[in-house]
Amino acid sequence: MKILVIGGGGREHTIIRKLKESPKVDKIYAAPGNGGISRDAECVNIGVMDKEGMVKFAKENEIDLVFVAPDDPLAAGMVDALTANDIRAFGPRAEAAIIESSKVFSKNLMKKYGIPTAEYEVFSESAKAMAYIEEKGKYPVVIKADGLALGKGVIIAKDHAEAQAAVKEIMEDKKFGDSGNNVVVEEFLTGPEVSVLAFTDGIALKPMVSSKDHKRAYDNDEGLNTGGMGTISPNPYYTDEIAEICRKTIFEPTVAAMNSENRTFKGCLYFGLMITPDGPKVIEYNARFGDPEAQVVLPRLKTDLVDIIEAVIDEKLSQLNIEWSNDATACVVMASGGYPLSYKKGMEITGLDEDGQVEGATVYHAGTKYENGKFYTNGGRVLGITASGKTLDEALEKAYDAVGRISFEGAHFRTDIGKTANKE
């Protein structure tokens, strides 16, 4: 088979490495890929939003399967465009990807179908949003831009002044563009967070092993929200009992709700959950693999990923038994100094071999460039250093040992990935 993976980050590198394990795969292309990915696949310079370009490339190169990994092309109808041209594609259509691309949609869906989530109101006028926040007078309060905002459109305001500033930034200054035309104001929830990704063909839903993201830029969950600074799998808070509650009250009702809305979801559905004192609640849905959740979940997959993708597309997922390894995995993200705000690019990375790897770990490249046998930084999140072990501690030790052997100017990483999971 010839497979085209759309995207160019650490998640896509992970997907490509997993696909390479399949005896069914002859050739992998990545559009646009990155420096590290170029060591594992052929990178083609087509933008992730270029539907026409992608269809043309897939036809000309007789691509058997396209894996659409990032949120933007899914929301923009990349899968629709491919399937309309008889090209097999993995991922939800735009009408289903809306579960991630509009928080107003997903909140209203949960309310309508009784799926547990934080209480909320939606506003299209900043004055009304502020009046509501003042009237409630309960802080912290959570303010979310409706649309996609690179995981940065959520502000937890500690007091009235912060709430006012957040509403102004999102709705008036349009910090996230049109994503801020509407805001969701919601109740602040507490409890450990769990990410659960699941394969679904719209009929069956098969949850993958759980994981835990670390979204804040600095140790002790300080600093700004990022796309994710590190992950572990499994998530120790996700007990069998919690998993069963999630299946009954969240996972299966979500698949059914999307079907009832004529928006059948096929692909990878991501549940961002919080285990509150009142039970698990949905913080957000994503219409795709998480990044860097994929980096710790997919290495534990024992079943051929191509078989799963085909079962999802052909709506035969219920017939497939998906197996996972019992190992623990940990991923530490090395980012450019300054991320998630401004940062420099083009720093030489040392410590990697010619394939961009180090011994004892797997290095998933997120933002790198490869030139004349050397790797250079080329993005905010640069590398995801991932290791596995019999225990979480062993995985973390191996990952941090590898991190210690890699360097570039301004490199920043958290030193406490997985630590709170052991402590809390």
DSSP class per residue in 223-271: EEE-S-SEEEES-TT--HHHHHHHIIIIIHHHHHHHHHTT----EEEEE
Residue 272 found at the interface with ligand AMP (CB under 6 A): yes
Q: Least distance (Å) from ligand AMP to the CB of residue 136?
A: 13
Say how far apart CA 379 and CA 393 lie, in whole Å.
29
Query: Any idea what DSSP says for residue 391?
Result: S
Looking at the Cβ atoms of 34 and 295, the one nearer to ligand AMP is 295
- Partner interacting with residue 207 (select from ligand AMP, ligand GLY, none; CB below 5-8 Å by kind): none
CA distances from 129 to 32, 136, 164, 170 (A): 40, 11, 9, 11
Q: Least distance (Å) from ligand GLY to the CB of residue 60?
A: 31
Query: Any idea what DSSP says for residue 317?
Result: G
- Partner interacting with residue 377 (select from ligand GLY, ligand AMP, none; CB below 5-8 Å by kind): none
Q: Least distance (Å) from ligand AMP to the CB of residue 157?
A: 11
Among 284, 291, 293, 304, binds ligand AMP (CB under 6 A): 284
- Partner interacting with residue 228 (select from ligand AMP, ligand GLY, none; CB below 5-8 Å by kind): ligand GLY
- Partner interacting with residue 142 (select from ligand AMP, ligand GLY, none; CB below 5-8 Å by kind): ligand AMP
Binding-residue pattern over the window 147 to 176 for ligand AMP, x denoting contact by CB under 6 A = ----x--x-x--------------------
**408, 381 Cβ separation under 8 angstroms:** no
CA distances from 308 to 40, 89, 200, 311, 381 (A): 21, 13, 10, 5, 29
Name the residue among 71, 64, 61 with its Cα closest to residue 86: 64
Say how far apart CA 91 and CA 201 lie, in whole Å.
10
Give the other-Cβ count within 10 Å of 86's Cβ: 9
Among 72, 162, 193, 397, binds ligand AMP (CB under 6 A): 193
Among 142, 171, 250, 268, binds ligand AMP (CB under 6 A): 142
Task: Map tokens 């083609």 to a residue.
Answer: 44
Among 49, 122, 189, 256, binds ligand AMP (CB under 6 A): 189
Residue 110 found at the interface with ligand AMP (CB under 6 A): no
- Partner interacting with residue 186 (select from ligand AMP, ligand GLY, none; CB below 5-8 Å by kind): ligand AMP
Binding site for ligand GLY (CB under 6 A): 151, 213, 227-228, 286, 290-291, 293
Residue 215 found at the interface with ligand AMP (CB under 6 A): yes
Q: Least distance (Å) from ligand AMP to the CB of residue 190?
A: 7
Quote the tokens at residue 391: 């225990």
Q: Least distance (Å) from ligand AMP to the CB of residue 401?
A: 28
Strands 212-213 and 2-7, sheet pairing: unpaired
Only segment of 60-68, 183-191, 240-248, 337-345 that touches ligand AMP (CB under 6 A)? 183-191
Name the residue among 227, 192, 225, 231 with its Cα closest to residue 211: 231
Q: Least distance (Å) from ligand AMP to the CB of residue 299?
A: 23
CA distances from 262 to 93, 202, 255, 258 (A): 11, 11, 11, 6
Looking at the Cβ atoms of 193 and 416, the one nearer to ligand AMP is 193
Q: Least distance (Å) from ligand AMP to the CB of residue 171?
A: 17
- Give the CA angle between residues 129, 133, 135 to the nearest 5°: 115
Residues contacting 283, CB < 8 A, separation 6+:
117, 118, 189, 193, 272, 273, 274
Q: Which residues bind ligand AMP (CB under 6 A)?
A: 118, 142, 144, 151, 154, 156, 186-189, 193, 215, 225, 272, 283-284
